[in-house]
Structures are given as structure tokens and as C-alpha cells.
Amino acid sequence: MPFVVDANILFSALIKDGATAEILVNNLGFLYAPEFIFEEFYKHKEEILKKTKRTPAEFDSLFGSMMELIIVVPLDEYKHMLKKAEEISPDPNDVPYFALALKLEIPLWSNDKKLKKQNQLRVYNTEELV
């Protein structure tokens, strides 16, 4: 099944091996993310490195491997959905994920509980996918 994958899912997989990393590697279906996901990662790189025992080189290598599993979608392909996404996203920071999911008509994979506080878009957490 295809999903739009939230950055918190990828952060989780980078921080520790577990169900999230396993699902990513086994690739349930196609995984999509908005192109700004790269900014999110590098903005939080130091925080992620502090929570792991990975070196910056290991982080970059693992991040590169994960990004091979994800289809990164340019903003131009879903920007027409941003207004609707702003109306339904419980968190303004997640509007691009909602817009992409609405455009592709697929669910969002996120462990952010507040994203389920709407009824326009299906949001799955890792536990539900296991």
C-alpha cells in the first residue's frame, strides 16, 4: 500500500532499529515524501546524532539508503492542494505532507497523534502497520 511518509518516521528509523526501520526496508508499497524532507533532516541532524551512536558518516549513508526507498515529490506537483491541506492539518508544520497525500489520494504514515484529529485524510502510525 502506498503512503506519504512523515519525517518523524524516518527520524525514528535513523535513531534505532525496530519496527519502523523494518517496515521501511520491506517497503510495504511505494513511499512518497515532499521535497522539503531533506531540509527537515538536515535541520535535525545534530539532534538525531545525539540520540544515536552513529557517526555523521553513518548517518549520511543510512539517510541516503532510506531516501532510495522514497519517491521525493517536488512542490510544484502538489502546491495546488496546499490550501485544502491548511484547512484540515492539525499542525501547520505538516501541511506539505497533507497536501501531497491529498494530491496522491493515499494515506499518511506518521506517529504524530495529533494528525489523527481530523477526518479528511487517513493517518496510520507504525503500530497500526505492524
Nearest to 5 by CA among 58, 72, 92: 72
State the Cα–Cα distance between residues 36 and 120, nearest whole angstrom: 23
- Pick the more confident residue, 17 or 81: 81
Residue 83 scores a pLDDT above 90: yes
Give the percent of the chain with pLDDT over 70. Answer: 98
Bigger pLDDT: 80 vs 43: 80
CATH superfamily of 3-129: 5'-nuclease (3.40.50.1010)
pLDDT mean across residues, the chain: 88
Query: Would you say residue 89 has pLDDT above 90?
Result: yes
pLDDT digits (tens, 9 = 90+) for 18-32: 788 777 777 656 899
